[in-house]
Amino acid sequence: MTPFSIVVAMDQNRGIGRDGKLPWYLKCDLKHFKEITTQTRDQNKHNAVIMGRKTWDSLPAQFRPLPKRVNVVITRNANLQFPQDVLRVNGLEQALDLFAKGALSKIIESVYVIGGAQIFEQAIVRKECRKIYLTQILHSFDCDTFFPPFVDYFQHEAGSPRYVENEISYLFAEYSRKAGV
């Protein structure tokens, strides 16, 4: 069993995407995402980021694979080619298995599921999903992709003050899995 966390930014309606992209540009949130997913306590280890194929496609070419992290892409298409060092898997189960034992388990400190909606849906129902790092955007965007309802599974643990960027207010929150669900 590989424990993992989710990192997500969502608007007031749980919207996370539009036309295969993020509906907003928040530089501080991108920095926050990078810090959470890159930082390790052990300097000799890296973290892993697991994403759906559409989220991979959404990353600007110059930023992928996400540096200093082991990138894992979930797809049903066994013919898709990815850059060297990117791991292609056929489902979330196979992605998590990569880090359960063997060589990768020794060099990976934390595992983060970073989207999109299809993968989040499969992730939040798993007991190994311990935590959600949530950027709560206090604004409504025109979205076509949504984070699933999660408050039945997760409880609020911590929240930052509000920040404002490009006239958009947002805060960073942390949710942890409720006992027994």
Give least dist CB 106 to ligand NAP, A: 26
Report the alpha-carbon distance of residue 54 to residue 138 in Å, rounded.
25
Nearer to ligand NAP, 70 or 72 (CB): 72
Nearer to ligand NAP, 70 or 143 (CB): 143
Q: Which of 12, 39, 90, 140 binds ligand NAP (CB under 6 A)?
A: 90
Give least dist CB 73 to ligand NAP, A: 8
Nearer to ligand NAP, 45 or 144 (CB): 144
Q: How many residues bind ligand NAP (CB under 6 A)?
A: 26
Give 163-169 contacts, CB < 8 A, sequence gap 24+.
163/28, 165/26, 165/27, 165/28, 165/29, 166/24, 166/25, 166/26, 168/24, 168/26, 168/137, 168/138, 168/139, 169/137, 169/138, 169/139
Which residues of this chain interact with ligand NAP, rule CB under 6 A? 8-9, 16-17, 20-22, 51-55, 58, 74-77, 90-91, 114-119, 145
